[in-house]
Structure 1
Amino acid sequence: MSVFITFEGPEGSGKSTIIKEVNEYLLNNYETLVTREPGGISLSESIRDLLLNDEHDMDGQTEALLFAASRRVHLVEKIIPALKNGKIVLCDRFIDSSLAYQGFARGLGFESIFTINQFAIDTYMPDLTIYLKLDPKIGLLRKKDNDIEHNRLDNEEVDFHERVVMGYNKLSEKYPNRIKTVNANQNVEAVLSDTIHIIEQFIKSRGERI
């Protein structure tokens, strides 16, 4: 069974932790692939370094185009082959990140960012997206307290990260059948439980066992 599941949320929302635990759960019955954006393959990781390195400054349009380029090569070389081999792909970020960060928070607009990314991804949209909703102030504190990888976007003011969350909220309202919201202000165990429940219901809706 091939399923493309993405995980979205603001900085510090716990995506990496939840993906790791979900993967361990699914491995009982399915073949999986865990990957991330930007990154996942050598070329995309190089683009990630450009995008997230504190030493590089760029405008929103350059940022959006680099994310789309990284997404394209990652999709073609890693995600599509895994889906064709019947795997469940768990991806840390995908198109919704660009829509929330560059489209809404940077003020470039959903439509323009979607157009750029539609060229990059063709018809490959996630089957299911888990949105880990979190107060951005809490997320930034989590990253600082837990010494999580610092990147250029962490240097933005809190209002930028608040706009990111607003963007995600609008996307979850626009695509309620695909984007399912989990309260990431809870402890890890509760977040994981809610996430697994959503994924179980989705897989069962496709007539598959879990």
Structure 2
Amino acid sequence: MTAPGLFITLEGGDGSGKSTQAALLEQWLDGKHRTVVRTREPGGTDFGTEVREIVLHSRGHISPRAEALLYAADRAHHISTKVRPALERGDVVIQDRYLDSSVAYQGAGRVLDSAEIRSLSLWAAEGLLPDLTILLDLDEHEARARLDGSRTRFDRLENEKSEFHARVRAAFLALARSEPERFLVLDAAQSPESLAARIRAAVEPLLEDASSGTDAS
């Protein structure tokens, strides 16, 4: 990665509070006069918006491998046209979901080969990994209760059974254990303010490294 850009991703199950924490982190970084690019997968580009509509709201069945390839196609375009240019400018990219979501949802959730899904994602992104991945971990039943209380329409993944979401959660935690230097795992049952403080504490030294020209990754 070209310093002083910084790539931060947020992961976790639906209802874990990723959007809230992304907004709070952006607000804090704005106060530090850092240029922030907030984005998501899928849906971070015009092409990604079209992919998002297919994978999350298609009325017909999508085979697991086709679903994985659609996410990879979005990722290839998104990283090439939006994320890498932002990092090269020295911006801070805050992204809701990245390749770890593909490994968890399409790998463990859809019971595909997780190593193959990861390889596909890395190929699509030309090997780009985040400087920091924040995993907001939440019991799948609590996450569902949050969703039930906040919305009336659910996408294809949100509508999956609890067993699916339990596999996804376990996969996220396994990924974090395999790469502890990249992951910050937080109990998403904590208050938004407590979580935001923990996240700021982890991001602060990365900002200092980036500003000094050190490769934070």
| Pairwise CA distance, 1:148 | 7.2
| Pairwise CA distance, 1:109 | 2.0
2:73 counterpart (61, 66, 69): 69
Match of 2:160 in 1: 156
Match of 2:215 in 1: none
2:128 corresponds to 1:124: yes
Match of 1:94 in 2: 98
Distance in 2 (CA, whole Å) between partners of 1:99 and 1:148 is 27
Distance in 2 (CA, whole Å) between partners of 1:98 and 1:149 is 22
| Pairwise CA distance, 1:56 | 3.1
Match of 2:174 in 1: 170
Bigger relative contact order (CA 8 A; separation at least 6): 2
Find the residue that maps to 2:128 and give its secondary structure: coil
Which runs of structure 1 show a deviation greater than 2 angstroms over 4 or more consecutive aligned residues?
201-208
Match of 1:138 in 2: 142
Over aligned residue pairs, what C-alpha RMSD do you find?
Answer: 1.4
**Identity percentage of aligned residues:** 34
On the 8 A contact 1:143/1:149 being kept in 2, the answer is no
TM-score of the aligned structures, taking structure 1 as reference length: 0.94
User: How many residues in Structure 1 have an aligned counterpart in Structure 2?
Assistant: 208
Match of 1:27 in 2: 30
| Pairwise CA distance, 1:43 | 0.6
Distance in 1 (CA, whole Å) between partners of 2:19 and 2:153 is 11
Partner amino acid for 1:62?
Answer: A
Match of 1:7 in 2: 10
Match of 2:20 in 1: 17
Where in structure 2 are there 5+ consecutive unaligned residues?
Answer: 213-217
Find the residue that maps to 2:204 and give its secondary structure: helix
On the 8 A contact 2:6/2:210 being kept in 1, the answer is no
Where in structure 1 are there 5+ consecutive unaligned residues?
Answer: none
Partner amino acid for 1:19?
Answer: A
Match of 1:190 in 2: 194
